[in-house]
Chain A
Amino acid sequence: MGLLFDATRCIGCGACSSACKEQNKLPGKVEEVLTAYTWTTVQEKEGLNVRKLCMHCEVPTCASVCPVGALKKTPEGPVVYDAERCMGCRYCMMACPFEIPKYQWDRPVPVVGKCIMCAGRVKDGQPTACAAACPAEATIFGKKEDLIWEARTRIRQKPGAYVDHIYGLTEAGGTSVLMISNVPFEKLGLKSNLPGEPPAMKTWQVLSNIPDFVAVWAVFLYGVHWITARREEVARVGANGNGHGRNGQGNGREDRS
């Protein structure tokens, strides 16, 4: 499942943000930027209204970096957060390419806050609270394939009315939240320098090689030890036995290295 946001249709009423607050029992007023208490917000850019919310990546960077697995992609699509597990390292905030997770800096017992795509509602087959609240159908909820098809249709039907790109199709390896607009996305404050490959692959390439690496390195280190220890022994035997030729050689080598 996923969300499609059409910036050309958004009227900036903020119904989505208020609905989100209510649905997820978040305290305080809707703020202008994302915070631990405002999971989605509507920002005015270039005369357009743009929503900011978690993109629910297909291969979520946040979930890949969390040491305790507090963030997870559910089969339905939402990337959810388990506040009971989180120990507050904030690596997810550092790593998220869209800079979505936010923190409760003001609390002695803080947790991370981010949109969870109303995972509970979605699981029950309902649309997210924000999509349900949107009066202009700027945010719609549905199967990701259907949303892609819908976005393509809108772009095709009114040539020139949209930028020919669905934001989220390839960004950071693809996301469950898609956006279309008539203004280039970087002007709307959306990152345009994101790799098409999920960032998580970069670390996984390194991490997945660790077992082999450990085995090879351990054998190598032991080998070095064996050789040097053996050399010392040979030198000792040589010294005790027949003259100091060997001994001299052993010492010389040791001094040089």
Chain B
Amino acid sequence: MNTLAALAAPRRFRPGFWTAVFVVLFLAFCTVTVIRYTKGLGAVTNLSDQFPWGLWIGFDLLCGVGLAAGAFTLTAVVHLFNLKRFEPIVRPTILTGFLGYAFVIVALLLDLGQPWRIWHAIVYWNTHSVMFEVAWCVMLYTTVLAVEFSPVVFERFGFHAPARLIHRLITPLVILGVLLSTLHQSSLGSLYLIVPSKLHPLWYSPMLPLYFYISAIGAGIGMVILESYLSKRAFHRHLEMDLLEPLARGMVVALGIYGLMRLQGIARNHAFGTLGSYEGRMFLVEFLLGVVLPVVLMSFRRLRTNPDWLVGGAFLAVLGFVMNRLNVSITGMEAASGTRYLPSAMEIIVSLGLVATGMAVFAFAVRTFSIFPDGPVAGRSKEPAVGA
């Protein structure tokens, strides 16, 4: 009786605004999925023979993987560079990484023409294909992240033996994770090495793999900061400024190196003359807003130590990263394709639905497991489910 009354009590179950948004998005996502599988890709996307890769590759794949880069960066910092004080934010970061990859896999299942054949990549090998490498790295690294995260789950249910075993294996696991991440963060860039005659010279470079790798480290760190902030808001936690401030310094270094490399690449392509074009404007927004501005802002200690500015800087870095991936995959490819591509509403719904689901799962995990140092977070906040 008591429990029933408790369950029925309106105060215990009060879906907030964000829960409603999530439910609506999720239902829309399901509808689009059904249409996609019954009517084909043409019915839901603006993709065409001229423009075969769109938002789902540009955002879901390239950004989903990139923003999960915080996981390997931070595990390397803690376990290889032995900076143990960053330990408290490793778990949420690994969780974000894992969700990022899960997000990518779901996105691939939607984007592939014949997703039920996704296992073909395991049996039919073409080692000359970058896509083949990407497929293997995604599979293996998702597994590594799941294993790295599993002690959290084991602990929750009181299985200490497997948790201890994984703890002992953590060094090889982390090394494997860093290796796999390095390989395929960069190979997402290598995907575009094959189109020297198609990708605009502002973005094409033989250094693409390195650009992708370094910018992923920068944005991955930005994401760690951003996610700490979002969790703070959603779960009323404090911001670990003493940890985030040095991370912001790391971000400045990564973005700085990346920015210089990009400028050098553009000079090498003699592409500065194209800055007035449509592509040039898109590049300027990406570069000034997403690289130059965060580097400059975060170079000031005073701004770095101020939570608002810190989060702002991290947000810019992440935004710049997303814009770069969209520019490489869409803006830079449009001229050669002879068409304009704008994602359809249904493509956008799928991407948003995936992001929202990822956030909901994150919020659920934070409540159920000890993700943050202070244990499972009680579901007392006014804005449950989508914690952002």
Contact = CB atoms under 8 A, between A and B. Distances in A.
A149 interface: no
B130 A202 contact: no
B374 interface: no
Contacts, number: 174
B120 A202 contact: no
Given A69-B126, A193-B197, A203-B130, 20 more contacts: A34-B49, A63-B126, A67-B129, A68-B120, A87-B117, A99-B337, A106-B42, A106-B43, A108-B39, A110-B114, A199-B194, A199-B195, A202-B194, A206-B190, A210-B133, A210-B183, A221-B80, A224-B80, A225-B82, A254-B82
Contacts of B79: 225
A237 interface: no
Interface residues of A, number: 61
Given A65-B129, A206-B209, A225-B171, A105 B80 contact: no
A133 interface: no
A182 to B, nearest CB: 25
B122 to A, nearest CB: 9
A91 B193 CA distance: 12
B115 interface: yes
A120 interface: no
Contacts of B178: 217, 221
Interface residues of B, number: 59
Contacts of B124: 68-70, 85
- B interface, over-half SS: helix
B37 interface: yes
Interface in A204-224: 204, 206-207, 210, 213-214, 217-218, 221-222, 224
Contacts of A94: 52-53, 194-195
Nearest to A64: B128
B113 A87 contact: yes
7 contacts: A90-B52, A90-B113, A97-B197, A108-B38, A195-B197, A202-B196, A228-B81
A93 B49 contact: yes
A6 B206 CA distance: 36
Given A67-B132, A87-B121, A105-B48, A110 B40 contact: yes
B194 to A, nearest CB: 4
A248 B96 CA distance: 35
